[in-house]
Structure formats: C-alpha cells, structure tokens
Amino acid sequence: MSAPLRIGNASGFYGDRLGAVREMLADGPLDVLTGDYLAELTMLILGRDRLADPGRGYAATFLRQMEDSLALAAERGVRIVSNAGGLNPAGLAAALRRLAERRGLPVRVAYVTGDELLHRAEALGFPGAVTANAYLGGWGIAEALRRGAEVVVTGRVTDASLVAGPAAAHFGWARDDFDALAGATAAGHVLECGTQATGGNYAFFTELLAAGHDLTSPGFPLAEVDADGSAVITKHPGTGGAVTVGTVTAQLLYEITGPRYAGPDVTARFDTVRLEAAGPDRVRLSGARGEPPPPAVKVGVNRLAGFRNEVTFVLTGLDIEAKAALVRAQAEAALGAARPRRLEWRLARTDRASARTEQEHSALLRVVAADPDAERVGRAFSSALVELALASYPGCHLTAPPGRGSPYGVFSAAHVDRAEVRQEVVLPGGERLAVPADGPVLALAEVPDEAAPAPPGEPGPVRPAPLGAVLGARSGDKGGDATLGVWARDDPGWAWLDRTLTADRLRELLPETAGLPVRRYRLPKLRALSFVLEGLLGEGVAATSRFDPQAKGVAEWLRAQTVDVPVELLEPG
C-alpha cells in the first residue's frame, strides 16, 4: 500500500482569505496545495478585466499569495495547482516565472490551456460572447506534474480536477480507472469550497460552537487520497473549525444537480459515496463508483446583456403597502416613455409592529432597472426617482444615493463535442503537449426521483417545529437555477425526510418556487435529497434582481419553515 497523497486547498473563490496559502503550507505537511478561484460570475469579472487590459484576465490575488509563499512551498516540496489562470493562464505563468527569477527560486512553472473557445464562439453557436470556456478535466494537470512541474496554473477546469489531476499523476491511474477517478472527484468537490467543509456556512454551526469548536477562523480542508480513490477529509491539527460527517455531507450536496456528477474525465456517482467518522476531525469518503464521462463537454458562456441600476426606498411606520403603491405609481408615471425595458419592484416587509427602533419599524422597497441602453438606467432613471423625495409618501428617503448604473452579464451553459476542445500543456521549458480527449464515453442518463415516496409508517405524535430542528440543508446557484441539498442525520430522520419532502411539498414551503419546475433526486447513502429549482435565479447571478442572487440562503429559508415533526425525531429515545 502506497502512502496517501495529502492534497490541501487554500481558496474557495476569488476573494477568499488571503493568508490561507501560507497557513496551509506552514501548519502541517502537504504534498499538493490547490486553490479554486473561478465561478460563473468570476469568469464575467475576468472577462471585463481583459476587455479593459488584454494582459489581465487572471486572479491577481493568487500572484500576491505566491509573492508571499512561493519560497515556502519550494522549501517544503509542496506542488501548487490552481485554476487562478482564469482567462489568461499564459500571462499568470509568465508572471510566476518572473517572480521566481527575482527571488532566485528554481521553480518549474507549467500551464494548461485549450479551454478558451472565444475565438470560435460564433462558429460554435455562442454569438455575442464575452467569455466562452470549456470545462477541462484533470489530465492536463496530471501530464504537467508527471513532466516535473512544481507549479501548475490552468484556465477553466472543473473544480474537482484540481484534486483528481494530481491524484491521477501520483498513482498512475489510467483514463478508465473510473472508480478511482470518481473517488478523487468526490474528494475534490468537498475541498473546492474551502472552509465550507470545515464548519463554514454549516447548518448546525451552533452545535459545533457548543462542542467547543472555534469557528472564528476555520482551517482549510485537506484530503488524504488513497490509491483506490478513497480519501480521508481532514484539516491541519490545531486549526479552527471542525470536520464531521455533517460538514462533509453539506459540502458534498452543494451545487450538485443529481446523483450523477458529470465531468470531462468521469461521471461520479454521488449516490454510491459513503461517509463515516474516522477519528477527531477525520471523515472517510469511500465507495464511489464511476462511469465514463459524457461525449459532450460543458462550456460556460458569458454575454454582456445591458445595463442596470437600483434604488431602495425606506418605508417607515403605518400604511406600508399604500406607501409602496404610491411611490411605485409616481415612479412609473415620471419615467413615462423613458421607462427601462425591465423594471422590477420588490417590497421586503422587514418592519415589525411596536418596534423599539426606527430601523426595525421600516420596510424596504427595492426597484431594479435594466435596459440595453445605458442612458435609460443612468441619470435619467436616478433623477426621476430622486425628484419624488418631497412629493411622495411621508418619511420618504433612500438607503443610498442613486448611482449611474453599470453593465451586467448573463451566464449560460452550453455543450460541445469533446473533439472541439483541444487541451494543451505548456511545460516549463516552453514545450507544448497535446492532451488527447480519448477514452470511452457514455451518454449521461437521468436518474429519476423514485416518485412514489416511502410508505408512511404508523402515525405517531407530532409537534410543530422548524424543519431545521432535525434537518440540515445547503443551497447555491447553477446558472439561472438554484440547487438545494437536504439531509437527515439518522435513519429515522431520513425515512421521514424521504416520504415528506416531495417536490410539491417543497413548493408549498417555499412559495417563490410555486410556479417553477422542481427536480428531486434521492441519495440514500447520504440520507439526503437533492433538488434543482429551475429558473429561480432568472438569467443567473449577474442578471437576477432577486434579493439573494446566488441562492445561498434558500436552504436556511427552508429550514426555518414550521411543519409537523414526529416527536421521536425531536426527542430521540
């Protein structure tokens, strides 16, 4: 048995904790340190950066982190693998080489490219794209590491590939070692969002605090990956946070769209994954089964859709609904023919009766304007609303001065045949190696919900309680859809969850989803359900006017809903 490969993570998004790279290198042993910097919105941000300056387009914070920690990584023999290259991995690799030369560090830097499809966007059916990037797999990373690279930066690869690629290189996996690849992919999915695996954003965080865990600065996670693809998820000793079956379950369910987790290298069956405690802050992830990847590769496309602006009115005291109706009618009349193409009003009843402060007795009326013409959402829009200040409801004022408006984008996912994507590795000496997209493929099959819920057991006493008293949940975004994972912590809870939370019941509990298609999937080995709320976010995070544009709080909204819960679940034993 070969020793496990210790792969850590130091970034879950562009803007994550700047000191995490040094912390992960200094706080304990590692073989590989990864960093995930890319998301759908991030690609749009980098695309706009590149429009302003063709030399930009990568995550600048990663370069700052390397200025601080590249010498330490070289000293400790830790290889660095990151997708911080964004839209310009060649530019980031060149900057890293210059940094290494200035510091006198003989560090071998390689980069992976081929995800960029913008130059062929029209031909591939993506007109008007600002960014168009295929989601590459881990074989380019693996080839770079096999050829001796000590730092590998990539463009758009799947998040889990940052772990699967190094594991494949280290253990010598073949392209059809699907079970091993699936296990590493599952481990990579746990690591990709950093401290979300160690107690961050965790539904039962109060229990961690009660147990004495320090959540002020959770440590970043690492995976001890074995030759068969199984892994132990853990963190460096003495760091904050906690690694439990619950925290790992929460992250496994994050932003997935069903049991089949499809990537360019493997389709990992998350309904086969098992989790079990393996000691303090140690959770074993095993049993993952893999299938060949689908014949098409996902492409993330961002387009500039127009310009937007927003204003929030504060409504205090009595007659909230009437005040909202008045200012809305006034604004619509004032805008007249200059009305933006899209004008959305949302009233948030944040007020409460007999409040002790003015703020607690106030509601917020938010209006979002969007239009292809910047003038329609700029000063003309702002001035029309400001002019109402002395002519509208009593107490009229805004949360902030209106702005000029700003451009916004729309994200969409497309697919192209694997043959259209030409992945390459550029080695430290400049040699370019093609990474063939060979190997078996398999059309992605839908795993339907077992529509008939589990038969009800003998009815027992129930008590009104929030769902969150017994169930955990985590939510996020996938383009214009929201994803929602819900799990139980024991078998009786799972049986109740499975038969109770149908798609129809979810729509009742979350009225915003009432008119939307809702897909429901079962993951019994995780005691979990996965839901996809289609269209909840409209055209995606950059375009939606929803209060929670990335659906981060949908899970907690669900957990706050009161239902009749079996007393035996609330009072075990």
pLDDT in tens, 273-315: 999 999 999 999 999 999 999 999 999 999 999 999 999 999 9
Would you state the pLDDT for residue 444? 83
Can you tell me the mean pLDDT for 440-462? 71
Q: Can you tell me the distance from the alpha carbon of 61 to that of 252, in angstroms, rounded to the nearest whole number?
A: 27
Sorted by sequence, the CB contacts under 8 Å of residue 565 that are 6+ apart come out as 462, 463, 464, 465, 467, 469, 470, 496
543 has pLDDT over 80: no
State mean pLDDT over 470-493: 96
Asked whether the beta carbons of 487 and 256 are under 8 A apart, the reply is no
Query: In the predicted model, what is the mean pLDDT of the chain?
Result: 94
Residue 152 DSSP SS3:
strand
Percent of the chain at pLDDT above 90? Answer: 88
pLDDT for 456: 61
Per-domain residue ranges of the chain: 5-294, 307-410, 462-570
Looking at per-residue pLDDT, the higher value among 439 and 523 belongs to: 523
Mind listing the pLDDT tens digit for each residue in 208-238?
Answer: 999 999 999 999 999 999 999 999 999 999 9
Quick count: other Cβ atoms within 10 Å of Cβ 228?
16
130-162: pLDDT as tens digits: 999 999 999 999 999 999 999 999 999 999 999
Share of the chain above pLDDT 70, in %: 97
Contact 113, 92 (CB under 8 A): no
Query: Which residues are CB-neighbours of 443 under 8 A, at least 6 positions away?
Result: 294, 295
What is the reported pLDDT for 379? Answer: 86
pLDDT of 18 > 60? The answer is yes
The tens digit of pLDDT for each residue in 74-105 reads 999 999 999 999 999 999 999 999 999 999 99
pLDDT of residue 454: 56
15-49 burial by CB neighbour count: b if 16+ within 10 A, else e?
ebbeebbebbbebbebbbbbbbbbbbbbbbbbbbb
At 458, the pLDDT band (50, 70, 90 cuts) reads: low
CB 243 within 8 A of CB 233: yes
Stretch 397-405: mean pLDDT: 88
Taking residue 307's Cβ as centre, other Cβ atoms within 10 Å add up to 22
Burial of 246 (C-beta count, 10 Å sphere; 0-12/13-18/19+): buried
CA–CA distances in Å: residue 446 to residues 297, 449, 505: 17, 9, 22
Average pLDDT over residues 466-473: 98
Is there a contact between 222 and 191 (Cβ–Cβ < 8 Å)? yes
Best CATH choice for the domain 307-410 from the list 3.30.70, 3.40.190, 2.30.30, 1.20.120: 3.30.70
55, 90 in Cβ contact below 8 A? no
Q: What are phi and psi of 380, to 5 degrees?
A: -60, -45
CA distance 200 to 150: 30
**Distance of alpha carbon 1 from alpha carbon 197, whole angstroms:** 27
Mean pLDDT check: name the lowest of 290-304, 435-449, 495-509.
435-449
Mean pLDDT of 342-371: 94
Burial class (CB in 10 A: 0-12, 13-18, 19+), 172: exposed
Mean pLDDT value of segment 29-57: 93
pLDDT of 41? 86
Q: Is 157 helix (H, G, I), strand (E, B) or coil?
A: strand
pLDDT band (50, 70, 90) for residue 455 = low
Bridge pairing between strands 79-82 and 151-154: parallel
Q: What is the dihedral of CA 450, 453, 454, 455, to 10 degrees?
A: -140
pLDDT tier at 451, thresholds 50, 70, 90:
very low
pLDDT band at 448 (very low <50, low <70, confident <90, very high): low
pLDDT at position 40: 87
pLDDT at position 450 over 80: no
pLDDT of residue 453 exceeding 70: no
CA distance 555 to 553: 5
DSSP label of 294? P
Who's near 140: CB < 8 A, 6+ residues apart? Answer: 112, 114, 154, 157, 165, 423, 424, 425, 435
- Burial of 339 from C-beta contacts in 10 A (0-12 / 13-18 / 19+): middle
